[in-house]
Structure 1
Amino acid sequence: MTAARGSMTAVPRELIWWREADLAQWRELLERAMTAFAVAWDLDVAVSAFGNAGDIVLPPVLRSELAWAPLETSGLWVGCADAPVLSVRRALFGHEETEAWQHGDERDGTLTTDVANEAWRALGGALAGVFLVPEDDRNFPVAVTYPVAQRKPWSGALMAVISVRGSMSVQFGLHVPPELTRVSAPKSPRPGLPSRARIALTPVAAALGSQPIALVVTLADIELDLGALLAMQTGDVVTIPHSLQQPMTLAVRHANGGAGEPVAHAFLGAVHGTKAIELVGLADRPSTLTH
């Protein structure tokens, strides 16, 4: 069997892996939302795991694809052992009342049902609020079935395990697809950390103002053939093609020892028995020293 050229070529998968700094900001937002929900509903809520989907080890009750359902139109997926409302009801009222409600026991009034539904709406809204995407950025399709393949490393998806404890303890899983993470990544700095935009950058010249810089005074370059160089002896005079009326060049020394960009012109002299140079003019300042 022959295939048309290119028909077997796989489309490369985009690799996305979120850094610890990104994860820390998301987790902080998630924990704040869960704390607010816990206070409002008198529950103990903890984010027991959060990170890149490929790093999260899910509890057994969340490993099946059947445990996951979409969170309305938010693009998020929520996993739990029962229907989300049932899980919230167990946390609020315990196992017995939930079982009675499931089987239509007349002793179970509509009040607990309404409370459970309201609590689930609050929890779902809190989760969706962490990864809220502006309408203008919602140009991606929402998956119809649970995207289990996004649990692989480098998928760009995020996952969390959230424990809710009241009359009973229940666990929820949260799956954030890469379509959402790319457009909902935290853009503001974490509280207590300075924003880059608010940090005044110090000019290079000011930052390095106290650093020692090696300078080179160049009189002139000369050329000798090898024979003349080998024949040189103490006392020989080598004429330099440099007029006494012509200033020398003062330059920054390169790391290799050679002269770099000139900074000034000077004449050779002496002060208190020590050789010195007198600046007679500044060269054009190197751009590396002024910017």
Structure 2
Amino acid sequence: MEAIVTQDGARPWRGAAAAVPLRCWEAGQLAGLSDAVQAALSSWQQAWGLAGSLTSACTVATAASLVGQDWTPLRFSGEIAAWLHAPKAAAMVATALFGDLSSAAVASEVVEACVADGWKRLAGVLQLAAAPGSTSVPASADVAPWSGAVEVVVTGVVDARLVLAPEVVEAWCASRGFARSTTRAGASQPLAAASDAVAQQMVSLQVQLVGCELDLGSLQELQVGDVLRLPHPLEAPARVLDGTGATLFGGYLGRHLGQLAVELVKNPSP
């Protein structure tokens, strides 16, 4: 489809070459991935005798959660497709293993081996491998809305965050027999009409009448139950505003089934 060119030369539509897939994950897929991560880390915790709780949760990754963090890149199928953030992992493991003796020289080798084994077990579940280099940060496009990127948050014995590109999650889902993430037009589940999709959404509206002016003395003397006369003629429509203050309709005050109501009109008066 050719893009429409406006008078200022801007193109409101992009060509097919710029199209990107929209990915999302079902709650069962994210829960299954979280359970797999939990199982890998629990086996590591038991193997090393690490006391304490250890939980994991998978959510949709967002750009806001990546700001100001140092991430270690991980490879999937030869490409960087995951990022790990666990700056205090070694210190937390050392405390769990040795308590007050965690700073002893002999402890460092054991802690290093323990941490390495934990990441090895986790990487094995997700088919990840360490990437050479120092640190990198996922690009905004990697975690854009509907990108399919997933953030895994681990808390307890060790605190860590892992951002997974959709290819990693999709490969894991395929290995466990989950359906693909993407939904295309013409699939078995038809798309709902926009009016049906938003039919149950509640929208707050405000009805604004013409205001009045009071001197400061009258304002200070106002009491509950006082009546203010507004210079708003009944034949003039009120303004019906949305939550942002934008005018949507005009409206006439009235009653319906014993309750106050507003009859909407298309063209509100200035």
- TM-score under structure 1 length normalisation: 0.45
- TM-score under structure 2 length normalisation: 0.48
Larger Rg: 1
